[in-house]
Amino acid sequence: MSRERDRLEDRLKRLQSDEEKRRMSEVDSQEQQRLVDRWIRSIGPVVGAKVENNTLMLTLGEGVGPMSGRRILVEFSVLGNVVSVRTDDGRELPPNFNHDTLMRLLSEFTGALSLTTAAAAWAATGLMATVFADGAEPAVKVLTNSDFLMWTKDQSLALVEFYAPWCGYCQAMAPAYEMAAEALKKDKIPLAKVDCTAEIQVCDDMGVEGYPTLKVVRNGAFAPYNGTRQEASIVDYMRRHSKPALQKIKPVHFDNFVDSGHIVVVGFVDDNEADLAALKSVAEESFDEYLFGYVSDKSVAKKFGVPYPGIAVFKDFDTRKDVFGFTRDADRLRRVVRSSSIPVLGELSVQTFGTYVRSGIPIGLLFYDGQEMRQRLQEEFLDLAIKYKHDVSLALVDARIYHKHAKALNLQSKWPAFAIQEPAKHLKYVFPHFRVLTAEKVGDFVGDFVSGKLEPNFKSQPIPAKSDAGVFDLVAKQFNEIVFDRNKDVLIEFYAPWCIYCKRMAKAYADLGETFRGNPNMVIAKMDGTANDIPSGDPGFQFPGFPTVVLVRAGDNAIIRYNGDRSLDSLIGFIKKHAVHSSTHEEPVVIEKASEAQQHVYIEAPKNALGYTPKETRHIEL
């Protein structure tokens, strides 16, 4: 007993020591930041800048205190983090000279600093900085609570970014956003940004739920930006939105037209309503993604090796051009255009994931953990990717970066690995880990998927032992059996063990289970959303965060989202209003089984529904 007490006392002393070290570290950091602030105030305007070998060299103006005419060398890691800051005579500056501090310094750029140099500086640092060159206006307009509405109402076409300075994704996108703004100046398409940590009212009014959020604005009306976060994509997207969905191309302008976008779809057809109907239909629905045009000159088709009538997809990657016979079938046209928009065995990343998802084609993910393995997979699987490009888009994924996405697909940490993902249906198909991953075996697996022979994989906890508790522990293996029993109303709370809001609601939800214990036609259930997949693609089960509560109503299986507070009375009131069997005590009933073809009904809740998780806690890996 004495030895156990001694061990506990030793552990307590260590914890107290660690706490004191942490507190002293915070004090030291505060003192260091004060040194940095004093140093920043002591320097003058930057009159020159140069980027060389991961080092940004800043030249200060003459006659501005002790740093007059000196050069500051800021060294970065390959990830854009500040490694060291020193003067040209080797004097080290305060060690916590960080991104925020550097942004304050960059904001002083004047005089000799060109926009080209500024772009290079952003690319080297990965920072978001407003840079003034030769007295010019900043490329990106900074909006505040006071001028947001007036400015956006005056813009015929513009793009606005809602960001937070601490957001890593915002910092990563910053150089591309700044350079896109500079490129779009000649098109008179302005780009703006709003700091949501400072301009809280604007961001709340705009319904910003995560960072960065980008919105296209036309005379005060907003629409989501559906492009990627790369400079070329932003520029291409905004230029497309300045033109009609389907443009008639004059032969003399043809070369310029096909070079004006990342992906350009051209119909070589006669100028009549029957031939243009399908092309126009697909152009209007895909306006966010591709540039569409048509030409009615057979000589142009001959020059580019396209049958007349025909379709060509011009792009700035892999095959450069895909050619198809003309079709008036809009669905077929849509499929060939979308499949051509995806690189053959391209790289899947946070920047490109949206493009793959919007294509509507299932994604075959090949995970690798090193460049040597990547090169081998690229060579071995290229022919397979070409063979199935219209059915499954094979893509390479770096498991070292996107290991969380691999885990979400139920992959083990053994590489290489392969899985097929259907984002639209929330389904995944995992290539067995015990099989050697070869192009031949993966080809058979993909072939079985295309033929409809594979069953999707679902992560699930074990089926729990029977319990008389008021709240039923639901797992993926029992989901469809329990949830879609048309004889019963089923209320489900999707929770996460770490979610503080779920913990606060736990007692009220347990009391709710006890309240309806005497009603066999009402199931009060909860499901750990981090340990179980939802084996249903129904939109009613797609939710933004934890906790989310939904009712699957008896009879028609309508899915109704709960939008009340976390009190017992509110939960009971919701059941009384929407459930078929809303009494606390009932006799069992049996409803005649409905046709399998009958679709579930989803009733959306307002944006302030319980399932909302504050943007500070949300994270999406891809």
Residue 217 three-state SS: strand
Residue labelled with tokens 């079709």: 327
Which uninterrupted H or E stretch holds 175?
Answer: helix 168-183
Tokens of 20: 């004191």
SS (H, E, C) 341-389: CCCCCEECCCCCHHHHHHHCCCEEEEEECCHHHHHHHHHHHHHHHHHCC
Q: Which residues of the chain have pLDDT under 50?
A: 1-2, 4-5, 15-16, 19-44, 63-65, 78-80, 94-101, 103-136, 593-622
DSSP string, 10-77: HHHHHHHHHHHHHHHHHHHHHHHHHHHHHHHHH---EEEEEEETTEEEEEEPSSSGGGTT-EEEEEE-
| Residue 167 is among the residues annotated as catalytic for this protein | yes
* Closest listed residue to residue 204, CA positions, set 618, 614, 542: 614
pLDDT for the residue numbered 108: 40
Question: Do residues 420 and 446 make contact, with C-beta atoms less than 8 angstroms apart?
Answer: yes
pLDDT for the residue numbered 138: 73
Question: Do residues 287 and 243 make contact, with C-beta atoms less than 8 angstroms apart?
Answer: no
Q: How many CA atoms lie within 13 A of 485 on its CB side?
A: 17
Q: At what angle do helices 330-340 and 273-285 cross, to 10 degrees?
A: 50
> What residues contact residue 26 under an 8 Å CB cut-off, 6+ apart?
none
| Residue 499 is among the residues annotated as catalytic for this protein | yes
pLDDT for the residue numbered 513: 93
Which of 363, 499, 549, 559 is labelled catalytic?
499
- Phi/psi for 265 (5° steps) reads -105, 125
Tokens of 107: 């904001």
Report the distance separating Cα 238 and Cα 218, nearest Å: 12
Residue labelled with tokens 């990717």: 385
Q: Residue 59 CB: number of other CB atoms within 10 A? A: 17
Task: Answer whether 0.75 is exceeded by the pTM.
Answer: no
Q: What length does the chain have?
A: 622
Which of 56, 167, 184, 238 is labelled catalytic?
167
Tokens of 75: 């060294």
* Closest listed residue to residue 145, CA positions, set 202, 226, 206, 66: 202
| Residue 196 is among the residues annotated as catalytic for this protein | no
Q: What is the pLDDT of residues 259-282, one digit of tens each?
A: 887 889 999 999 888 888 888 888
Which of 160, 170, 192, 235 is labelled catalytic?
170
Which of 265, 333, 409, 502 is labelled catalytic?
502
pLDDT for the residue numbered 353: 84
Residue labelled with tokens 């916590």: 96
Q: How many CA atoms lie within 13 A of 257 on its CB side?
A: 22
pLDDT for the residue numbered 274: 80
pLDDT for the residue numbered 424: 79
